[in-house]
Amino acid sequence: MKNSVIGYPRIGAFRELKFEVEKYFLKQSSQEELIALSKDLKEKHWQDLKSANIDFIPCNDFSFYDNTLDTAVLFNVVAQRYKALKLNHLDEYFAQARGYQGKFGDEKALAMKKWFNTNYHYIEPECDDAEVIDLVGDKIFKDFIEAKNLNINPKPVIHGIFTFFKLIRFKDEDTKQKAKEKLLQAYIKLLNRFNDLEATWLSFDEPCLVFDLNKQELKLFNDFYQELLKHKGGIKILIQSYFGDIRDAYESVLKLDIDGLGLDFIEGDYNINLLENFGFHRNKILFAGIINGRNIYKNNYKKTIDLIHKIKNYAPNIVLSTSCSLLHVPYSIQNENKLDEKYLNHFAFAKEKLQELNELKILLTSKDFNKEKFFIQNQILLANSLNKNNLKVQESIKTLSKEKCIREPEFKERKILQQSILKLPILPTTTIGSFPQTKEVRSNRLAFKQNKINIDTYTSFNRNKIKECIKIQEEIGLDVLVHGEFERNDMVEYFGENLEGFLFTQNAWVQSYGTRCVKPPIIWGDVSRKKTITVEYAKFAQSQSQKIVKGMLTGPVTILNWSFPREDISLRESALQIALAIQEEVLDLENAGIKIIQIDEAALREKLPLRKSKWHTYLEWAILAFNVTHYKVKAQTQIHTHMCYSEFSDIIKEINAMDADVISFEASRSNLDLLNALKAVNFKTDIGPGVYDIHSPRIPSIDELKNVIKKILNKFEKEKIWINPDCGLKTRNYEEVVASLKNLVQASLELRKELQNE
Ligand code: GLN
Ligand code: ZN
């Protein structure tokens, strides 16, 4: 019995990689220093794997920024405009990742996209000339040799040709067609090189197999691998899937001349049915993903061993594996010294998961190991139900249903009532919530957290910031104001900290993209609200202006999706528990006289299941949870919501069923598609499509903004449209924000005039 890991976190226990790369960006460290650090990190991680007795140790899972970009660079899928900058290798790489502005030119970055349904983002490779595709890079080979030199025989991992091909953005259809053959040849060269290097195994990651695949896609997959595998020589090939089951491709995969297949039995519960229905080869190896690579709770050994026995009925030759790369969990619990042992005992981050793989191996093979005793300990630990007994919450969520949680009266009537109170002009202007998180704002929070200042000093600083922020917005001339969110480190963590049932870590960072990491809270127990959370600041902000100031909350689905969820109750139950807590806050805000309440659901789209057949179940509870938060408010109270990453053309009916009064969304890059989709379903809710991209420091001109708004006006009646940026402003500076918003207000004013004169 052997075990295997698909990938390991690369940022380092204390985000060393992030800091070093950022230093490099600021020209405060050299290429050599960056390479030296990466070498140390890789070595350290390989040692972790080795000392935990992992048999299949990956290499090439390390990256300075992103593995998809690494693959693109390896095969020379680099758009001409970046090559034209004539930068050195590393800088050309970073230019694609984050844009380049300097003495050699000015190029925007490549698009950044969500990696399947995780919170990790990859860089979308761009191919404008298929002819140049070739094996040109050497990082993967260097990594391989580095590991070899440490006496490790690594399993190089790389995107499989099918997945990589699907992730590329091609200039046109012709380029795309040509690229197939070129890419195939390049992958064949890769195989040849690894034959020369005498690699034992090579893993092709093929997560795209977990999507719904049509006949054409399956044919492409088959064509690629039928040909590629003719050239495998002496290397054993593993096709590694993750994030779900591979029902559409399974029969094809079985026919391929591969040596191993990796299946995810955590998210892909249907994979066991595939084994049952179609069997598996006796002489090939099944890499069974049984350790959850996406959550941080300890493994339930008894359950896992039962599952392994079941799998072994069909596949006698198995290797125990993680369900996906451990990139999606933090590095180690060893660096958590504030969290009580009684909690910490329940968690396994990446490093501890290696231990789990090792223990499972021992449990399954060694005769003298006292299994029963071990199981009992593991069972007691899992059953330990600290803070999981809020019966009131548990009972309340049972009563919630789609039919019961409907807001009255219906939208049309509400709109008239609300307008009679809010008296807003057409094309009202607003922002999404946060204002720049300057150094002083962060230090104030930090000082309070470290007990260096008392609550009064802390609060009065925030109040002053709010006062200032309101004044700035009034001067700019915005119609609906916000308080600026200075008290919030993060839109999820802030609410988690004020709710019962959440735990927080010190160093449990997970890479979100490039050098950006997030520290998701852990949902531990039943969730309920301890006390009012936002009411005081909201009241204060409103007292500072005659204009309306929005109350600002994070919605239950987003809080859940950006946390590590419980495994002992369903996501649905967790979402509804959080929804009830947020409902209390909504009603308290309303009671305090707040007339517009925004409930952000930034991450609702992110966790939409990859397979369509699972959408219904997810959307049922996600939309219900949102409705629970607001269905009890008065008709006069206006409910807004905001969504990032709004590729929701195909779930637009469900978004409408959230029954908000206004929805703003991030769409500055894909505006038109979405507007068409909204139009097609006769979208009921009023809309605020982001009119400029806040992820860029660029300041949009008045004309540019007017043009965007005109496009929206072409499709929708003017009474339906709000004017706002596409997301919160916290990552920008004041200079950019004020200039951009002034133009935004001016654009709206000019268009109002033009419309009145019509
Ligand atoms: N209200 C939040 C903010 O402005 C929304 C952030 C988000 O959508 N990610 O920061
Ligand atoms: Zn957003």
According to the model, what pLDDT value does residue 156 have? 98
Q: Residue 668 — pLDDT band, cuts 50, 70, 90?
A: low
Q: How far is CA 454 from CA 448, 450, 451, in A?
A: 6, 10, 7
According to the model, what pLDDT value does residue 101 have? 82
Nearest to 201 by CA among 302, 285, 104, 129: 285
Mutate to test the pocket of ligand 1, among 727, 729, 730, 731 (most ligand atoms within 8 A of CB): 727
Q: Which fold has domain 2-74+136-383?
A: TIM Barrel (3.20.20)
Cis peptide before 409 (omega within 30 of 0): yes
Q: How far is CA 494 from CA 142, 505, 603, 665, in A?
A: 43, 13, 16, 22
Which run of H or of E encompasses 577?
A: helix 571-591
Q: Is the CB of 434 under 6 A from ligand 1?
A: yes
End-to-end Cα separation, the chain, in angstroms: 78
Nearest to 610 by CA among 230, 281, 243: 243
Q: Is the CB of 642 under 6 A from ligand 1?
A: yes
CA distance 350 to 356: 10
Ligand 1: residue whose CA is nearest its atom 8: 602
- What type of residue is 122? Y
According to the model, what pLDDT value does residue 384 have? 75
Is 280:254 a contact under the CB 8 Å cutoff? yes
What separation in Å is there between the alpha carbon of 433 and the centre of ligand 2?
9
Range from 378-392, 429-443, 726-740 carrying the lowest mean pLDDT? 378-392
Nearest-5° Cα angle at 426, 420 to 429: 105
| Ligand 1 atom closest to Cα of residue 643 | 8
According to the model, what pLDDT value does residue 709 have? 95
Is 664:642 a contact under the CB 8 Å cutoff? yes
CA distance 664 to 359: 49
pLDDT digits (tens, 9 = 90+) for 297-335: 999 998 999 999 999 999 999 999 999 999 999 999 999
Is the per-residue pLDDT at 129 higher than 90?
yes
Helix, strand, or coil (residue 252)? helix
Length of the chain: 758
Helix, strand, or coil (residue 499)? strand
Q: Residue 693 — pLDDT band, cuts 50, 70, 90?
A: confident
Query: Is 119 within any annotated ligand binding site?
Result: yes
According to the model, what pLDDT value does residue 390 have? 86
Helix, strand, or coil (residue 233)? coil
Query: Is 129 within any annotated ligand binding site?
Result: no
Burial class (CB in 10 A: 0-12, 13-18, 19+), 452: exposed
* Mean pLDDT value of segment 168-178: 97
Q: Is the CB of 552 under 6 A from ligand 1?
A: yes
- Considering every ligand atom shown, identify the ligand nearest to the alpha carbon of residue 693 and give its number: 2
Query: Is 434 within any annotated ligand binding site?
Result: yes
Nearest to 353 by CA among 443, 293, 307, 270: 293
What separation in Å is there between the alpha carbon of 43 and the centre of ligand 1?
38
Do the domains spanning 2-74+136-383 and 436-665 agree at the CATH topology level? Answer: yes
Nearest to 659 by CA among 400, 396, 402, 429: 402
Strand partners for 126: 169
The one catalytic residue in 121, 281, 346, 695 is 695
Mutate to test the pocket of ligand 1, among 485, 494, 512, 600 (most ligand atoms within 8 A of CB): 600
* Sequence spans of domains, the chain: 2-74+136-383, 436-665
Ligand 1: residue whose CA is nearest its atom 4: 728
Query: Is 16 within any annotated ligand binding site?
Result: yes
According to the model, what pLDDT value does residue 544 have? 98
Q: Residue 671 — pLDDT band, cuts 50, 70, 90?
A: low
| Ligand 1 atom closest to Cα of residue 431 | 4
| Ligand 1 atom closest to Cα of residue 434 | 4
Ligand 1: residue whose CA is nearest its atom 10: 728
According to the model, what pLDDT value does residue 45 have? 98
DSSP, residue by residue, 500-519: EEEE--SS--EEEETTEEE-
Is the per-residue pLDDT at 183 higher than 70?
yes
Query: Is 463 within any annotated ligand binding site?
Result: no
Is 95:82 a contact under the CB 8 Å cutoff? yes
* Mean pLDDT value of segment 747-753: 98
According to the model, what pLDDT value does residue 385 have? 66
Instruction: Kindly report the backbone phi and psi dihedral angles of residue 473, in degrees, each rounded to the nearest multiple of 5, phi listed first.
Output: -65, -35
- Considering every ligand atom shown, identify the ligand nearest to the alpha carbon of residue 645 and give its number: 2
Average pLDDT across the chain, whole number: 95
Query: Is 608 within any annotated ligand binding site?
Result: no
pLDDT > 90 in the chain, percent: 88
Is the per-residue pLDDT at 142 higher than 70?
yes
- What type of residue is 206? E
* Mean pLDDT value of segment 704-726: 95
| Ligand 1 atom closest to Cα of residue 552 | 1
CA distance 41 to 19: 13
CA distance 626 to 175: 44
pLDDT digits (tens, 9 = 90+) for 211-236: 999 999 999 999 999 999 999 999 99
Instruction: Give how far the C-alpha of residue 455 lies from the chain's centroid of Cα atoms, to the nearest Å.
Output: 34
Is 136:76 a contact under the CB 8 Å cutoff? yes
Ligand 1: residue whose CA is nearest its atom 5: 728
CATH number, span 436-665: 3.20.20.210
Instruction: Give how far the C-alpha of residue 586 lies from the chain's centroid of Cα atoms, to the nearest Å.
Output: 26
Q: Locate all alpha helices (DSSP H) within 345-454, ordered by sequence.
A: 350-365, 371-383, 391-398, 411-422, 439-449
Ligand 1: residue whose CA is nearest its atom 1: 433
Mutate to test the pocket of ligand 1, among 431, 437, 642, 730 (most ligand atoms within 8 A of CB): 642
Q: Is the CB of 602 under 6 A from ligand 1?
A: yes
Q: Locate all alpha helices (DSSP H) within 168-300, ordered by sequence.
A: 173-196, 215-228, 250-255, 271-278
pLDDT digits (tens, 9 = 90+) for 586-636: 999 999 999 999 999 999 988 999 999 999 999 999 999 999 999 999 999
Pairing mode, strands 105-107 and 100-102: antiparallel
Which run of H or of E encompasses 156?
A: strand 155-159
Mutate to test the pocket of ligand 1, among 114, 432, 553 (most ligand atoms within 8 A of CB): 432
pTM value is: 0.94
- Per the model's pLDDT, the better-predicted residue between 242 and 646 turns out to be 242
* Mean pLDDT value of segment 454-459: 97
Is the per-residue pLDDT at 694 higher than 90?
no
According to the model, what pLDDT value does residue 73 have? 98
Query: Is 405 within any annotated ligand binding site?
Result: no
DSSP, residue by residue, 1-20: -EEE-S----S-TT-HHHHH
According to the model, what pLDDT value does residue 670 have? 59
Which run of H or of E encompasses 466?
A: helix 455-476
- Considering every ligand atom shown, identify the ligand nearest to the alpha carbon of residue 432 and give its number: 1
Helix, strand, or coil (residue 262)? strand
| Ligand 1 atom closest to Cα of residue 642 | 8
According to the model, what pLDDT value does residue 424 have? 97
* Mean pLDDT value of segment 178-190: 98
Strands (E), 434-569: 480-481, 499-503, 510-513, 516-518, 522-529, 548-549, 551-554
What separation in Å is there between the alpha carbon of 547 and the centre of ligand 1?
21
Is the per-residue pLDDT at 112 higher than 90?
no
Neighbours of 344 (CB within 10 A): 16
What separation in Å is there between the alpha carbon of 728 and the centre of ligand 1?
4
What separation in Å is there between the alpha carbon of 181 and the centre of ligand 1?
44
- Considering every ligand atom shown, identify the ligand nearest to the alpha carbon of residue 731 and give its number: 1
pLDDT > 70 in the chain, percent: 99
According to the model, what pLDDT value does residue 662 have? 98
| Ligand 1 atom closest to Cα of residue 730 | 10
* Mean pLDDT value of segment 519-527: 95
Q: Is the CB of 730 under 6 A from ligand 1?
A: yes
- Per the model's pLDDT, the better-predicted residue between 182 and 371 turns out to be 182
CA distance 41 to 157: 17
Told to judge if 695 belongs to the known catalytic residues of this protein, a careful annotator would answer: yes
Find where tokens 């500076």 sit. Answer: 733
* Mean pLDDT value of segment 387-396: 87
Find where tokens 């006698």 sit. Answer: 316
Helix, strand, or coil (residue 154)? coil
Instruction: Kindly report the backbone phi and psi dihedral angles of residue 686, in degrees, each rounded to the nearest multiple of 5, phi listed first.
Output: -65, 155
Query: Is 433 within any annotated ligand binding site?
Result: yes
